[in-house]
Amino acid sequence: MTSADLAAASLAAAASRAIALRRDLHRHPELGLTEFRTASLVAERLTQLGLGVRLGRDVMDSASRVGLPPEAELDRAYRRAEAEGAPAAFLPAFAGGHTAVVATLTGATPGPVVALRVDMDALPILEDDTQAHLPAREGFISAHPGVMHSCAHDAHTAIGLAVAEVLSGMQDRLAGTVKFIFQPAEEGGRGALPMVKAGVVDDVDHFIAIHLGTGVPSRTFRPDVLGHLASAKLDVTFRGQAAHAGGNPEAGRNALLGAATAVLGLYGISRHRDGRSRVNVGTLRAGSGRNVIADEAVLQMEVRGETAEITDYMLKRAEAVLRGAAAAQELEVDIRLVGRTTTAASDTALAARVAAAAAGLEGVAIDPTPHRTGGSEDATYFMRRVQERGGQAIYAVIGSDLPSGHHTPRFDIDETDIPWAIEALAKSVLALGREG
């Protein structure tokens, strides 16, 4: 891709629009499977660019979804999206939590199918509203208290649309086909598998997933990531019997005590000799008053493992701990799997090709050495499916200096990393198409 190509594609204008869109999405964050406004805006823009667009149930296998929000929550989020300007022509396609978008750009000459995947969902975190936090200082802090973009998915979405804009403007120089995959519900591992089950990547030869930050400094591009942990997410409800804590405590069956016992036991699970493992209880809610034996307790938790087998071991042990704690207090317990991810490693050969294509960006360091991560990602389902069918896949990190860590109230990115990210990805996709 030459500098003339970039000028013709109006890269600067696309980058400016991307930053503005990122701020708009940051102002209007939406949780997984409720990204009604976000997905509608994405679909509208891709249609304006002339891409072929498929939406909702066409690109998500409904039966494969887990962790679907309650119907009342889905309805509230849908109505809010309407009120906040979601394009009416596209919004109905996403009803019921089918908030996925796939767009196709066909080049002028034959070539491979290259896919770029980005995610769209936010997190249930109350954003910092002090002047030390740039979104608050510049007026694009979350308008939805308790929900914020704390993992850069707003920027991922904006970058994906900008790359589509750049490449659609040079379609006559594009070889092969480019798929733009806008995935809901990455947080909690709920969005990728239903799209995989719908066949979204079955024709893909080269697959690229991206993430901003992750400890990589600004103006650094690392297209070879490994080490994602498999994970399983559980919602657990203990049910007992309420009673007066002073008058007749013996009549109660204490759900809070059962849940607390379970938490201690979960952190005591023996680790596995064959690799890394994790367990975390993120929330525990129980009880109605200080003088009432709690009749219900709800906890949200997860386990992770370096391999699917280690994750299965952790999941089995966790379920045993939960059921044992329930039995000790004569409680009923409901254990629901509400999300899952797997493992995948980037293909070194594809990472090298992307690194070569992105080389030469002014002031940007291209680091082809593998970057090890400790988190989980459901992009791994896309990667595995592509690799199983003979294609290649990578997970690439776009470095960005962060004022606070991922999933924290003061998370933000360095927006100056958005323009070069668009350029690097556009160059990479174009090169992969031309080279086959």
Same domain flag for 73 and 218:
yes
Comparing 30-34, 155-159, 208-212, 225-229, the range with the smallest average pLDDT is: 225-229
Same domain flag for 74 and 175:
yes
Stretch 347-359: mean pLDDT: 96
Same domain flag for 94 and 178:
yes
Of 274, 18, 262, 309, the C-alpha closest to 164 is 18
Q: Is the pLDDT of residue 226 over 70?
A: yes
CATH of the domain at 356: 3.40.630.10
Contact 25, 159 (CB under 8 A): no
End position of a domain, from candidates 340, 362, 377: 340
How many residues are present in the chain?
436
Same domain flag for 356 and 427:
yes
Same domain flag for 190 and 252:
no
Contact 54, 201 (CB under 8 A): no
How many structural domains compose the chain?
2
Residue 436 pLDDT level (bands cut at 50, 70, 90)? confident
Same domain flag for 132 and 207:
yes
Average pLDDT of the chain, as a whole number = 96
Distance CA 180, CA 51 (A): 10
End position of a domain, from candidates 309, 340, 371: 340
Contact 346, 393 (CB under 8 A): yes
Give the per-residue pLDDT at 375. Answer: 87
Give the per-residue pLDDT at 10. Answer: 78
Same domain flag for 183 and 323:
no
Distance CA 56, CA 97 (A): 8
Same domain flag for 292 and 420:
no
Cα dihedral 118, 209, 125, 184 sign: positive
CATH of the domain at 249: 3.30.70.360
Q: Can you give the pTM of this predicted structure?
A: 0.94
CA dihedral in degrees (170, 172, 175, 178; nearest 10)?
Answer: 50
Give the per-residue pLDDT at 1. Answer: 47
Same domain flag for 275 and 216:
no
Distances (CA, A) of 333 to 234, 295, 436: 12, 12, 53
Q: Which domain holds residue 272?
A: 230-340
Same domain flag for 180 and 250:
no
Give the per-residue pLDDT at 201. Answer: 98
Distance CA 388, CA 350 (A): 15
Same domain flag for 166 and 278:
no
The per-residue pLDDT for range 260-312, each reduced to its tens digit, is 999 999 999 999 999 999 999 999 999 999 999 999 999 999 999 999 999 99
Residue 125 pLDDT level (bands cut at 50, 70, 90)? very high
End position of a domain, from candidates 340, 372, 394: 340
Same domain flag for 86 and 220:
yes
